[in-house]
A and B are shown apart, each in its own frame.
Chain A
Amino acid sequence: MNNKDTSKRTMDIVQKGLAKRYKREKRFKLYGLSAIIFSLMCLSFLFISIFSNGYTAFQQTFIELEVFIDPALIDKGNFAGSNYQGIIKASLRNAFPDVTERRAKKRLYHLVSSGAAYQLQAVVRDNFEKIGQSVTLWVPADDDVDMLMKGHIDRNVPEADRRLKDDQVAWIESLSEQGRIEKQFNTTFFTAGDSREPELAGIWGAACGSFYTLLVTLALSFPIGVAAAVYLEEFAPTNRWTDLIEVNINNLAAVPSIVFGLLGLAVFLNFAGLPRSAPLVGGFVLTLMTLPTIIIAGRASLKSVPPSIREAALGVGASKTQMVTHHVLPLAMPGMLTGTIIGMAQALGETAPLLMIGMVAFIVDIPGGFTDPSTVLPVQIFLWADSPERAFLERTSAAIMVLLLFLISMNAVAVILRKKFERRW
């Protein structure tokens, strides 16, 4: 401050700078606002691109076939090994009797999915009396046909550059004139396991894997996390050791998740000899990952319970355990649950640690237990994104939508729990 300024009144100085300060404030607000607008734009771009790519996957093209279950092609001793593919091919030939050339016939067979044979197999297995009769089946169309029906294959590019040739397009058109090809709701997507044929691939296998994995994670991390938080907050003496533990827990929360995967590989697979690709091991690894989150959230919610409640409980003669279990823990529980749910949501979206323990795998059978080989939802997304078939592109987006739905609903539950049970003092 120099001498000239002291001659002025403070008010003058303040007023002189006022316009500038208002401007600065306005600018500051603007920065914040534009940051929010930017992130909203990114988010909406993400949602719009995923949705516009993925919504078509909820429908699948089906073709109506008149199938004659030829008794000559069914081997009664070996139902699974019978030539169902041959029966489907025969019914396609019946539908288009003028196709005779060998290569053309092959192209004709390509119109329906290889899943049609499995569908027929199921029909025959459940209704033996149908052998020798004709049945009408809606069978899934091949993924290329599906892509054409959904407009992902351009009919106007030269024939050589298209995966569907002119005669195939003509057959599809004649089918659609007869109303024998249509898009239906894609139930397979929600009920099947993984498949290399996009039209047969579903997320149910991965969803079951995620369920078992998260169940193990929850069953282990919640009790351990709560117990650790209660001990550290209510019982542990404040000394160098507890400080050290606290610092370590905070550090663990920031450890990259792949490290937990490596740990899991070394401890659970190589040392303990647990099976690869099992939800049990996945759950163990994700427990290690979510524990710090749960402990930190748990301690924070224990801290927010006012000391007067503890003192009152102790004052009327409660033991420390009674004080914790009867008074402090119930009051802190909503916060702890919120932390747990957020930890679970984090675990649901994790792939990196599961890579190390073999859960990034092609698994068709739906896992039925904790040691069956399985995969999880984000891994399924990763695997589909890497597949060459174009129809997997929309399925990838659709799977992302399902995963996001799970995440959003889990977070919504956390918010509702907090709003409903939160108490302010």
Chain B
Amino acid sequence: MKKSLLAVLALVFIMGTGNLWADSSRDYISIVGSSTVYPFATVVAEKFGKSTQYKTPKIESTGSGGGHKLFGAGVGVQYPDITNSSRRIKKSEFEKATKNGIEIVEVKIGYDGIVVANSKEADVFKLTRKDLYLALAAQVPNPDGTETLVDNPYTTWKEVNASLPAIKIEVLGPPPTSGTRDAFVELAMEGGAKEFGFIKAMKKTDKNKYKSVCHTVREDGAYIEAGENDNLIVQKLDANPDALGIFGFSFLDQNTDKIQGSFVDGVQPTFEAIADGSYPVSRPLFFYVKKAHVDKIPGMKGYLKEFTSEKAWGDEGYLTDKGLIPMPTAERKQFQDAVVNLKPMTASDF
């Protein structure tokens, strides 16, 4: 009994000191957010920690949405200083943060391509965004040419497009919780769906219907949700030459001996094609800084400087080795200035 009483007392005591802790300062940077930006932010954090007297920043991979939620909760050491995001901050997230008294500085760091790839043992696929939409959407325009939607009838690639091989449609991709999936449906599938006039017209008349037509992936087994682990998809592609996989460019970059990127709209996903914008399925990556924390948390300025330095995000920087596609020089300059001046976002930015 004495023991349990002691334990309870200890618990209460620890909780008390914990409250004190929250009021005192934190001596390391706390970063949350996207799992796509995570591999880049961690490299910068590590270099920063090893080459300065500051502690290495702590980076949690919470996903873009989870990151904004934690980041926007308030100002103070118990809240993160920076959130990484594989999409732009949403207006609702911005408003919530503003309500909590947060001034946000937006920093774009570069681009990421989403690739459709298959095993080297098979022929390379030459796809269009329309092909991807027809092959993967839950509802597609009726193949007889009338302007109606039917449940996806296609089972082989040849049915989708006569120039493609007659193999079963089998695509391994990320689950709905993933930012990669969001970007893929938005850029590739919606891009393909828009080529049908009546679907495009739907955007004006019934926006919700339009979104669900463009963004709903079929669930009859042709699209296989392979989890958030892109390594697993690469391994499965290696074992099954008939399958295609969807993942971030950095995984293609690391496995060029096993897999090849499919052409999308006539462009193959190479470093150069994504950088100059000719590859259609690419998205910008961001991080957002809490302005009030820059002077409070030791090392914040140094970390921001390291991330936005040419040796990190430049054309030949170490982040490109990890698969980040750099921004054009002018854009890099613009965001370097943003970090120096710490100009907060305003509602008019949306």
Residues of A within 8 A of B (CB): 80-81, 106, 114, 118, 153-154, 157, 160-163, 195-197, 220, 223-224, 226-228, 231, 268-269, 272-277, 280, 284, 358, 360-365, 371, 373, 383, 385-390, 393
**Chain A contacts for B1, CB-based, 8 A:** 227, 231
> When the two chains form their complex, are residues A273 and B18 in contact, meaning their CB atoms are under 8 A apart?
yes
Q: Fill in one digit per residue for B250-266: 1 if any A CB lies within 8 Å of its CB, else 0.
A: 11011111000000000
> When the two chains form their complex, are residues A81 and B60 in contact, meaning their CB atoms are under 8 A apart?
no
Q: How far is the CA of A391 from the CA of B126 in the complex (A)?
A: 31
**Chain A contacts for B26, CB-based, 8 A:** 275
Is B97 on the interface with A (CB-CB < 8 A)? Answer: no
- A363-B56, A364-B50 known, 7 other contacts, Cβ within 8 Å: A196-B39, A196-B43, A223-B6, A277-B58, A386-B231, A387-B231, A388-B323
Binds A, one of B7-15, B156-164, B338-346: B7-15
Q: Fill in one digit per residue for B9-30: 1 if any A CB lies within 8 Å of its CB, else 0.
A: 0110011001101100010101
> When the two chains form their complex, are residues B231 and A388 in contact, meaning their CB atoms are under 8 A apart?
yes
Choose among A275, A365, A389 the residue that contacts B56 (Cβ–Cβ < 8 A).
A365
> When the two chains form their complex, are residues B257 and A154 in contact, meaning their CB atoms are under 8 A apart?
yes
Q: Which of A162, A284, A386 is packed against the most chain B CB atoms within 10 Å?
A: A386
Choose among A153, A275, A393 the residue that contacts B231 (Cβ–Cβ < 8 A).
A393
> When the two chains form their complex, are residues B15 and A390 in contact, meaning their CB atoms are under 8 A apart?
no
Q: Which of B18, B52, B256 is packed against the most chain A CB atoms within 10 Å?
A: B18
Give chain A's interface secondary structure class. Answer: loop
Interface residues of B in 241-286 (CB under 8 A from A): 248, 250-251, 253-257
> When the two chains form their complex, are residues B231 and A223 in contact, meaning their CB atoms are under 8 A apart?
no
Q: How far is the CA of A142 from the CA of B59 in the complex (A)?
A: 24
Is B170 on the interface with A (CB-CB < 8 A)? Answer: no
Q: How far is the CA of A12 from the CA of B172 in the complex (A)?
A: 64
**Chain B contacts for A162, CB-based, 8 A:** 256-257
Choose among B15, B42, B318, B323 the residue that contacts A362 (Cβ–Cβ < 8 A).
B42
**How far does the Cβ of A362 sit from chain B's closest Cβ, in whole Å?**
4
Whether A274 touches B250, Cβ cut-off 8 Å, given contacts A365-B49, A387-B39, is no
Q: How far is the CA of A162 from the CA of B120 in the complex (A)?
A: 12
> When the two chains form their complex, are residues A275 and B18 in contact, meaning their CB atoms are under 8 A apart?
yes
List 11 A–B pairs whose Cβ atoms lie within 8 Å, in order of A's numbering.
A81-B51, A114-B47, A163-B256, A223-B4, A268-B15, A274-B15, A276-B30, A363-B56, A365-B49, A386-B228, A388-B251
Interface residues of B in 47-65 (CB under 8 A from A): 47, 49-53, 55-56, 58-61
Choose among B49, B51, B230, B318 the residue that contacts A388 (Cβ–Cβ < 8 A).
B230
Cross-chain pair count, CB within 8 angstroms: 129
**How far does the Cβ of A350 sit from chain B's closest Cβ, in whole Å?**
17
**Chain B contacts for A197, CB-based, 8 A:** 46
Is B216 on the interface with A (CB-CB < 8 A)? Answer: no
Task: Identify the closest chain B residue to A274 (Cβ).
Answer: B18
Chain A to chain B: the 7 pairs with minimum beta-carbon distance, closest first: A227-B4, A273-B22, A274-B18, A364-B56, A362-B59, A223-B3, A361-B60
Q: How far is the CA of A226 from the CA of B2 in the complex (A)?
A: 11
**Chain A contacts for B51, CB-based, 8 A:** 80-81
Is B213 on the interface with A (CB-CB < 8 A)? Answer: no
> When the two chains form their complex, are residues B254 and A363 in contact, meaning their CB atoms are under 8 A apart?
no
Is B98 on the interface with A (CB-CB < 8 A)? Answer: no
**Chain A contacts for B6, CB-based, 8 A:** 223
Is B38 on the interface with A (CB-CB < 8 A)? Answer: yes
**How far does the Cβ of A203 sit from chain B's closest Cβ, in whole Å?**
16
**How far does the Cβ of A39 sit from chain B's closest Cβ, in whole Å?**
24
Task: Identify the closest chain A residue to B318 (Cβ).
Answer: A114
Task: Identify the closest chain A residue to B18 (Cβ).
Answer: A274
**Chain A contacts for B248, CB-based, 8 A:** 388
Q: How far is the CA of A272 from the CA of B43 in the complex (A)?
A: 33
> When the two chains form their complex, are residues A272 and B19 in contact, meaning their CB atoms are under 8 A apart?
yes
> When the two chains form their complex, are residues A362 and B78 in contact, meaning their CB atoms are under 8 A apart?
no
Q: How far is the CA of A154 from the CA of B258 in the complex (A)?
A: 10
Interface residues of B in 74-129 (CB under 8 A from A): 78, 120
Is B312 on the interface with A (CB-CB < 8 A)? Answer: no
> When the two chains form their complex, are residues A157 and B19 in contact, meaning their CB atoms are under 8 A apart?
no
**How far does the Cβ of A385 sit from chain B's closest Cβ, in whole Å?**
6
> When the two chains form their complex, are residues B255 and A390 in contact, meaning their CB atoms are under 8 A apart?
yes
**How far does the Cβ of B246 sit from chain A's closest Cβ, in whole Å?**
15
Task: Identify the closest chain B residue to A277 (Cβ).
Answer: B58
Q: Which of B38, B251, B256, B257 is packed against the most chain A CB atoms within 10 Å?
A: B257
Is B222 on the interface with A (CB-CB < 8 A)? Answer: no
Q: How far is the CA of A276 from the CA of B31 in the complex (A)?
A: 11
**How far does the Cβ of A210 sit from chain B's closest Cβ, in whole Å?**
17
**Chain B contacts for A269, CB-based, 8 A:** 78
**Chain B contacts for A276, CB-based, 8 A:** 30, 60, 78
Q: How far is the CA of A268 from the CA of B45 in the complex (A)?
A: 27
Is B291 on the interface with A (CB-CB < 8 A)? Answer: no
Choose among A275, A361, A365, A386 the residue that contacts B78 (Cβ–Cβ < 8 A).
A275
> When the two chains form their complex, are residues A196 and B322 in contact, meaning their CB atoms are under 8 A apart?
yes
Whether A360 touches B61, Cβ cut-off 8 Å, given contacts A162-B256, A223-B6, A390-B255, is yes
